[in-house]
Chains A and B, each alone.
Chain A
Amino acid sequence: MSGRVFALGVAFVALVTLPYWMTGVYYINVASQILFYAIFALALNVLVGYAGLVSLGHAGLFGVTAYATGYMLQLGFGHPMAILVALVISLISVAIYAVLSLRSTGIGFIMITLALGEILWGLAYRWISLTGGDNGLSLKTRPEPFGYSLSDATAFYYATLVIFLLSLAAVTVFVRSPLGAALMGTRDQARRMSALGYHVWAIRFYACLFSGLLTAVSAILFVYYTQFISPQTLGLTSSAEVLLMVISGGAGTLLGPIFGAGLVVIVKTVVSGFIERWNFLLGAIFVAIVILMPEGLAPGTARLWRLARRKRARSSKAIPGSAEAKP
């Protein structure tokens, strides 16, 4: 376990010092993108990984928050007010989303969330007076929390990093809590959980709210990052992309979705500069992950690492006279 703590420590130091060793604004921006998409993936993982509910409409919820923020700013409200209202609207939206989709589980849940996501996409595309239609909404400024301007890439990166770490901490605490254990119980044996005295529907509903809140947080970071929101962000492709992050990284693990977000964002932004058919590459990588480590990147790498270490330990034992080969 100490190896794990060491690795996490190194990762933490690397993230905090990133603007010093990562040269170029472009790459710092890529890192910011990875972090807020990682929050989005963590949010979806609460449902996909821990509740066993695959949502294909999360980009719709993501878009609601982004549009709400943009629209409030366009109406002339300040940043704190815009963010607050966006969070409230998001929670109301996800509550409605949950009430409608939790009538079912499994394939039914996927189809209802897919439909809801497409409805939200349709609204964003067609309700032009509110959303600007295909032209989208632009944001003129980024907020200045405590007089600390987020307009340059490094400042924005640090703000994103702080919120990312808080989100990761929130998910960690949740997963280890009784409610988190109950949620995983409903994933594995819903009927049994009812018989044991748990309110399965309510547990799933709270999980949806938590997932929705984290989605909203990532969407606010996104909309301030791009300073632009258009219907494309709400589309099925976006929902599928974040689901890909969760599954490729490792659904139901704490760190998996972060790895998944890193992989998808890097292929999409950096590698796409060199390879035109980056979608093809992403598909190929995904197929490779499914074949080589079906449990996802993070747990798969950990498994291969343990395997390699055991093998090395065994081969060193097999050499006569080596230190470990005492009878």
Chain B
Amino acid sequence: MTALTVTGLCKAFGGLRVTTDVNLDVEPGERRLIIGPNGAGKTTLFNLITGELTPDSGTIKLFGQDITSVPSRRRAHLGMARTYQIITLFVRDTIIHNVTLALLGLSPSRWNPLIDLKRQGHFVEHAQAALERVGLGHIANRPLAQTSYGERRRVEIAMALTQNPKVLLLDEPFAGLSIDERRDVKELLLAIPRDVTIVMIEHNMDVALEFAERITLLHFGEVIVEGNRAEVVADPRTREVYLGH
């Protein structure tokens, strides 16, 4: 059974077709890279997969279950987590509170209006552990407003990982990072166990190519090329629309 199956997915904003008949089969444990020039519809595809946008037609299946009409919040409970290209965090709170919110989102106690969240030891421990994993354990209680861009990228990843997703969607996890930070994040992603399926959008080819097993090239909302690393890099269409040389 495939982890994530997208069939005939279409989406248009008015007259602009941003996703045109996209098909995608991602195997469990696979590392899939999605590339394409700006405006190719990569993030839109993510938003359709996570349910933040509703497709005009087509189906999305998660481990065989049709989730096309399942709301975004339910998809999180079914094992889907994502990070955002434009960092989307809770800037008024501390780092650890951001991660705690991610943990709480899948816990039944998120509805509880009577207990003190700060005194729930298991949340604190799990959140701290998730932060240790991404190397932010020592600044867990720092307000998010006082963190660097690279640290925020890692908070994004910690929040996604702490939900123990089966399918993890990473939207440009290396965007805007320095060379050192890029190396740290790469090591972090390589350490994710194989029971997590990863779909990643990335422009930074030198880091991304190393990571991915299969690559999908999108152009004007359509899948142009799909195959393993060597096939896609060698394909003349890739060079034409993307690599540009």
Contact = CB atoms under 8 A, between A and B. Distances in A.
Interface of A: 173-174, 176-182, 184-185, 188-189, 191-200, 206, 210
Contact of B117 (A176, A191, A195): A176
A210 B104 CA distance: 21
Contacts of B208: none
B52 A194 contact: yes
A87 to B, nearest CB: 18
A192 to B, nearest CB: 5
B92 interface: yes
Interface string B76-91: 1100011010001111
B116 A176 contact: yes
Contacts, number: 90
Chain B interface size range:
35 or more
28 contacts: A177-B116, A178-B110, A178-B111, A178-B112, A178-B120, A180-B117, A181-B101, A181-B104, A182-B104, A182-B110, A184-B90, A185-B90, A188-B90, A191-B88, A192-B88, A193-B101, A193-B105, A194-B52, A195-B81, A196-B73, A196-B76, A196-B159, A196-B163, A197-B105, A198-B105, A199-B73, A200-B73, A210-B113
B39 to A, nearest CB: 21
A178 B92 contact: no
Interface string B106-126: 110111111111101000000
Given A196-B102, A196-B163, A197-B106, A174 B72 contact: no
A192 B84 contact: yes
B105 A191 contact: no
B97 interface: yes
Nearest 7 interchain pairs by C-beta: A196-B105, A197-B76, A197-B105, A179-B113, A194-B72, A192-B88, A177-B113
Interface in B147-165: 159, 163
Contacts of B50: 195
A174 B113 contact: yes
A189 B88 contact: yes
A184 B101 CA distance: 10
B125 to A, nearest CB: 16
Contacts of B159: 196
A178 B90 contact: no
Chain A contact surface mostly:
helix
Given A191-B88, A195-B76, A178 B82 contact: no
A76 to B, nearest CB: 37
A189 B92 CA distance: 11
B73 A194 contact: yes
Interface in B40-81: 50, 52, 71-74, 76-77, 81
Highest count of chain B CB atoms <10 Å: which of A193, A195, A196:
A195
A199 B76 CA distance: 11
Contacts of B106: 196-197
Nearest to B92: A188
B166 to A, nearest CB: 14
Nearest to A198: B105
Given A195-B82, A197-B105, A198-B105, A180 B113 contact: yes
Given A192-B89, A197-B105, 16 more contacts: A173-B113, A177-B112, A177-B115, A178-B112, A178-B113, A180-B113, A181-B97, A182-B104, A182-B110, A184-B92, A185-B90, A189-B88, A195-B72, A196-B76, A196-B106, A196-B163
Contacts of A188: 90-92
Contacts of A189: 88-90
Contacts of A192: 84, 88-90
A206 B89 CA distance: 23
Contacts of B101: 181-182, 185, 193, 196
Nearest to B74: A197
Nearest to B100: A181
A198 B102 CA distance: 9
B97 to A, nearest CB: 7
Nearest to B77: A197
Contacts of B97: 181
Highest count of chain A CB atoms <10 Å: which of B91, B101, B112, B115:
B101
Contacts of A197: 73-74, 76-77, 105-106, 110, 163
